A = this chain, B = another copy of it.
Protein backbone atom coordinates (compact mmCIF):
# COMPACT_ATOMS: atom_id res chain seq x y z
CA UNK A 1 0.00 0.00 0.00
CA UNK A 2 1.39 3.36 -1.04
CA UNK A 3 1.23 6.64 0.74
CA UNK A 4 -2.16 8.37 0.69
CA UNK A 5 -3.39 11.86 1.49
CA UNK A 6 -6.62 13.65 2.38
CA UNK A 7 -7.71 17.26 2.12
CA UNK A 8 -9.95 19.36 4.37
CA UNK A 9 -11.33 22.63 2.97
CA UNK A 10 -12.38 24.74 5.93
CA UNK A 11 -14.81 27.62 5.56
CA UNK A 12 -18.36 28.57 4.80
CA UNK A 13 -17.60 30.31 1.51
CA UNK A 14 -17.42 27.13 -0.60
CA UNK A 15 -20.50 25.66 1.12
CA UNK A 16 -22.53 28.81 0.48
CA UNK A 17 -21.51 29.01 -3.17
CA UNK A 18 -19.96 32.44 -2.71
CA UNK A 19 -16.51 31.18 -3.73
CA UNK A 20 -15.74 28.65 -6.42
CA UNK A 21 -13.13 26.17 -5.25
CA UNK A 22 -9.79 26.72 -6.94
CA UNK A 23 -7.61 24.54 -4.72
CA UNK A 24 -8.78 20.94 -5.14
CA UNK A 25 -7.50 20.31 -8.65
CA UNK A 26 -4.13 21.93 -7.95
CA UNK A 27 -3.55 19.84 -4.84
CA UNK A 28 -4.92 16.63 -6.38
CA UNK A 29 -2.59 16.93 -9.35
CA UNK A 30 0.48 17.93 -7.38
CA UNK A 31 0.00 15.27 -4.72
CA UNK A 32 -0.39 12.64 -7.44
CA UNK A 33 2.93 13.75 -8.91
CA UNK A 34 4.53 13.45 -5.46
CA UNK A 35 3.18 9.91 -5.15
CA UNK A 36 0.82 10.78 -2.29
CA UNK A 37 -2.56 10.63 -4.07
CA UNK A 38 -5.68 12.15 -2.51
CA UNK A 39 -8.19 9.59 -1.25
CA UNK A 40 -10.80 11.84 0.33
CA UNK A 41 -11.78 15.51 0.48
CA UNK A 42 -14.10 17.17 2.95
CA UNK A 43 -15.51 20.67 2.82
CA UNK A 44 -16.60 21.67 6.31
CA UNK A 45 -17.90 24.85 7.95
CA UNK A 46 -16.06 27.08 10.45
CA UNK A 47 -17.38 25.06 13.39
CA UNK A 48 -14.95 24.11 16.14
CA UNK A 49 -16.20 20.62 16.88
CA UNK A 50 -16.40 19.67 13.21
CA UNK A 51 -12.86 20.86 12.50
CA UNK A 52 -11.37 19.16 15.55
CA UNK A 53 -13.13 15.84 14.91
CA UNK A 54 -12.21 15.80 11.23
CA UNK A 55 -8.52 16.46 11.94
CA UNK A 56 -8.45 13.78 14.64
CA UNK A 57 -10.06 11.24 12.30
CA UNK A 58 -7.99 12.09 9.23
CA UNK A 59 -4.58 12.22 10.88
CA UNK A 60 -5.11 8.62 11.99
CA UNK A 61 -6.48 7.40 8.63
CA UNK A 62 -4.12 9.07 6.15
CA UNK A 63 -0.36 9.41 5.75
CA UNK A 64 -0.60 13.14 5.07
CA UNK A 65 -3.45 15.57 5.74
CA UNK A 66 -3.71 19.00 4.13
CA UNK A 67 -6.06 21.76 5.18
CA UNK A 68 -6.88 25.05 3.47
CA UNK A 69 -8.66 28.04 4.91
CA UNK A 70 -9.39 29.60 8.26
CA UNK A 71 -5.96 30.97 9.18
CA UNK A 72 -6.53 34.70 8.65
CA UNK A 73 -7.12 37.37 11.29
CA UNK A 74 -10.93 37.29 11.53
CA UNK A 75 -13.29 35.77 14.09
CA UNK A 76 -14.15 32.83 11.83
CA UNK A 77 -10.48 31.91 11.31
CA UNK A 78 -10.34 29.12 13.87
CA UNK A 79 -8.37 26.41 12.06
CA UNK A 80 -5.16 26.93 14.01
CA UNK A 81 -6.59 26.62 17.58
CA UNK A 82 -8.72 23.68 16.39
CA UNK A 83 -5.65 21.83 15.10
CA UNK A 84 -3.93 22.50 18.44
CA UNK A 85 -6.95 20.98 20.17
CA UNK A 86 -6.91 17.97 17.83
CA UNK A 87 -3.27 17.35 18.82
CA UNK A 88 -3.89 18.10 22.51
CA UNK A 89 -1.26 20.84 22.64
CA UNK A 90 -1.47 24.52 23.66
CA UNK A 91 -2.10 27.24 21.07
CA UNK A 92 0.48 29.89 21.81
CA UNK A 93 2.60 32.66 20.35
CA UNK A 94 5.34 31.41 18.06
CA UNK A 95 8.16 33.85 18.85
CA UNK A 96 9.80 34.04 15.41
CA UNK A 97 6.40 34.48 13.71
CA UNK A 98 5.37 37.10 16.27
CA UNK A 99 8.53 39.10 15.66
CA UNK A 100 8.17 38.86 11.88
CA UNK A 101 4.53 40.03 11.88
CA UNK A 102 5.24 42.75 14.43
CA UNK A 103 7.89 44.14 12.14
CA UNK A 104 5.58 43.89 9.14
CA UNK A 105 2.56 45.58 10.72
CA UNK A 106 4.28 48.03 13.09
CA UNK A 107 1.66 50.11 14.89
CA UNK A 108 -1.12 48.19 13.14
CA UNK A 109 -0.20 44.89 14.83
CA UNK A 110 -3.55 44.72 16.60
CA UNK A 111 -5.18 41.85 18.50
CA UNK A 112 -6.75 40.37 15.36
CA UNK A 113 -3.40 40.23 13.55
CA UNK A 114 -1.61 38.88 16.61
CA UNK A 115 -3.80 35.78 16.34
CA UNK A 116 -1.88 34.94 13.16
CA UNK A 117 1.30 34.67 15.25
CA UNK A 118 -0.14 31.85 17.36
CA UNK A 119 0.55 28.23 16.40
CA UNK A 120 0.00 24.88 18.06
CA UNK A 121 3.01 24.11 20.27
CA UNK A 122 5.56 22.11 18.25
CA UNK A 123 4.27 23.26 14.84
CA UNK A 124 6.76 24.21 12.13
CA UNK A 125 5.77 27.30 10.11
CA UNK A 126 5.23 27.03 6.35
CA UNK A 127 6.60 30.26 4.86
CA UNK A 128 4.18 32.57 3.08
CA UNK A 129 6.06 34.59 0.46
CA UNK A 130 2.88 36.43 -0.57
CA UNK A 131 1.49 38.00 2.61
CA UNK A 132 3.86 36.74 5.34
CA UNK A 133 1.44 35.16 7.89
CA UNK A 134 2.56 31.53 7.75
CA UNK A 135 0.84 28.18 7.53
CA UNK A 136 2.27 25.32 9.56
CA UNK A 137 2.89 21.59 9.78
CA UNK A 138 2.35 19.56 12.92
CA UNK A 139 2.84 15.82 12.71
CA UNK A 140 1.30 14.72 9.42
CA UNK A 141 -1.10 17.70 9.23
CA UNK A 142 -0.26 20.64 6.97
CA UNK A 143 -2.27 23.82 7.42
CA UNK A 144 -2.39 26.27 4.53
CA UNK A 145 -4.26 29.43 3.55
CA UNK A 146 -7.46 29.25 1.53
CA UNK A 147 -6.65 32.06 -0.92
CA UNK A 148 -5.40 30.10 -3.94
CA UNK A 149 -2.39 32.31 -4.67
CA UNK A 150 -1.17 32.02 -1.08
CA UNK A 151 -2.02 28.30 -0.83
CA UNK A 152 0.04 27.55 -3.94
CA UNK A 153 3.00 29.52 -2.65
CA UNK A 154 2.82 27.67 0.66
CA UNK A 155 2.52 24.31 -1.09
CA UNK A 156 5.67 25.00 -3.10
CA UNK A 157 7.48 25.69 0.17
CA UNK A 158 6.06 22.56 1.77
CA UNK A 159 6.40 20.04 -1.07
CA UNK A 160 10.17 19.45 -0.79
CA UNK A 161 9.74 18.46 2.87
CA UNK A 162 7.15 15.73 2.16
CA UNK A 163 8.08 12.07 1.97
CA UNK A 164 7.27 10.97 -1.56
CA UNK A 165 5.74 7.78 -2.91
CA UNK A 166 5.74 6.46 -6.45
CA UNK A 167 4.31 9.15 -8.71
CA UNK A 168 0.92 8.44 -10.23
CA UNK A 169 1.35 7.76 -13.94
CA UNK A 170 -1.53 7.82 -16.38
CA UNK A 171 -2.25 7.23 -20.04
CA UNK A 172 -5.40 8.17 -21.91
CA UNK A 173 -6.94 7.05 -25.20
CA UNK A 174 -10.08 8.67 -26.48
CA UNK A 175 -12.45 7.96 -29.33
CA UNK A 176 -15.14 10.06 -30.96
CA UNK A 177 -16.81 7.11 -32.67
CA UNK A 178 -18.02 5.00 -29.73
CA UNK A 179 -20.26 5.43 -26.72
CA UNK A 180 -19.29 4.58 -23.16
CA UNK A 181 -21.88 1.81 -22.96
CA UNK A 182 -20.35 0.00 -25.93
CA UNK A 183 -16.98 -0.49 -24.28
CA UNK A 184 -17.99 -0.79 -20.63
CA UNK A 185 -17.85 -4.60 -20.53
CA UNK A 186 -14.46 -4.72 -22.22
CA UNK A 187 -13.10 -2.07 -19.88
CA UNK A 188 -14.28 -4.04 -16.86
CA UNK A 189 -12.35 -7.07 -18.16
CA UNK A 190 -9.18 -4.95 -18.37
CA UNK A 191 -9.82 -3.59 -14.86
CA UNK A 192 -10.06 -7.17 -13.59
CA UNK A 193 -6.65 -7.95 -15.11
CA UNK A 194 -5.10 -4.93 -13.36
CA UNK A 195 -6.89 -4.59 -10.00
CA UNK A 196 -4.28 -2.19 -8.60
CA UNK A 197 -4.88 0.33 -11.40
CA UNK A 198 -7.62 2.91 -11.56
CA UNK A 199 -9.32 2.59 -14.96
CA UNK A 200 -11.79 5.34 -15.77
CA UNK A 201 -14.24 6.03 -18.54
CA UNK A 202 -15.12 9.68 -19.11
CA UNK A 203 -17.75 10.55 -21.69
CA UNK A 204 -17.58 14.05 -23.12
CA UNK A 205 -20.20 16.14 -24.92
CA UNK A 206 -19.06 19.47 -26.32
CA UNK A 207 -21.47 22.32 -26.92
CA UNK A 208 -20.73 22.15 -30.66
CA UNK A 209 -21.91 18.54 -30.81
CA UNK A 210 -18.54 16.71 -30.67
CA UNK A 211 -18.80 13.76 -28.34
CA UNK A 212 -17.05 10.56 -27.39
CA UNK A 213 -15.37 8.91 -24.48
CA UNK A 214 -11.90 9.04 -22.91
CA UNK A 215 -10.49 5.92 -21.25
CA UNK A 216 -7.81 6.48 -18.65
CA UNK A 217 -5.42 4.00 -17.04
CA UNK A 218 -3.77 5.37 -13.92
CA UNK A 219 -1.56 3.92 -11.26
CA UNK A 220 1.81 3.86 -9.57
CA UNK A 221 3.23 0.91 -11.55
CA UNK A 222 4.37 2.23 -14.93
CA UNK A 223 4.59 -1.16 -16.64
CA UNK A 224 1.05 -2.07 -15.66
CA UNK A 225 -0.25 1.31 -16.84
CA UNK A 226 1.44 0.84 -20.21
CA UNK A 227 0.08 -2.67 -20.60
CA UNK A 228 -3.44 -1.56 -19.68
CA UNK A 229 -3.17 1.34 -22.14
CA UNK A 230 -2.29 -1.16 -24.88
CA UNK A 231 -5.35 -3.23 -23.95
CA UNK A 232 -7.53 -0.11 -24.10
CA UNK A 233 -6.20 0.69 -27.58
CA UNK A 234 -7.04 -2.85 -28.71
CA UNK A 235 -10.52 -2.66 -27.16
CA UNK A 236 -11.38 0.55 -29.02
CA UNK A 237 -10.17 -0.99 -32.30
CA UNK A 238 -12.12 -4.21 -31.71
CA UNK A 239 -15.31 -2.25 -31.18
CA UNK A 240 -14.77 -0.42 -34.47
CA UNK A 241 -13.56 2.84 -32.98
CA UNK A 242 -10.68 5.10 -33.85
CA UNK A 243 -8.33 5.39 -30.85
CA UNK A 244 -6.47 8.67 -30.36
CA UNK A 245 -3.89 9.02 -27.60
CA UNK A 246 -4.28 11.86 -25.13
CA UNK A 247 -7.08 13.94 -23.67
CA UNK A 248 -9.94 14.94 -25.98
CA UNK A 249 -9.65 18.56 -27.21
CA UNK A 250 -11.74 21.10 -25.23
Contacts and interface: CB of A to CB of B under 8 A. Distances in A.
A120 interface: no
Interface string A28-45: 111010000111111111
Contacts of A181: 72-73, 105, 108, 110, 112-113, 116
Nearest to A75: B188
Given A185-B110, A205-B149, A74 B16 contact: no
Nearest to A38: B15
A12 interface: yes
A84 to B, nearest CB: 20
Q: How many chain copies does the complex carry? A: 2
A76 interface: yes
A235 interface: no
| A contact residues, range | 35 or more
Interface string A60-82: 00000000000011111000000
Contact of A14 (B28, B32, B199): B28
A15 B39 contact: yes
Contact of A218 (B16, B19, B198): B16
A25 interface: yes
A50 B130 CA distance: 38
Interface centre among A20, A149, A184, A216 (most CB of B within 10 A): A184
30 contacts: A14-B25, A15-B38, A15-B39, A15-B40, A16-B28, A16-B32, A17-B25, A17-B26, A17-B28, A17-B29, A18-B200, A18-B202, A19-B202, A20-B24, A40-B45, A41-B42, A42-B43, A72-B184, A73-B180, A75-B188, A75-B191, A76-B200, A105-B181, A110-B185, A112-B185, A112-B188, A113-B181, A113-B184, A147-B205, A149-B205
Given A20-B25, A41-B41, 20 more contacts: A15-B37, A16-B32, A16-B37, A16-B198, A17-B26, A17-B27, A17-B29, A19-B25, A19-B202, A24-B43, A41-B43, A72-B201, A73-B184, A74-B184, A75-B188, A75-B191, A108-B182, A112-B181, A147-B203, A149-B205
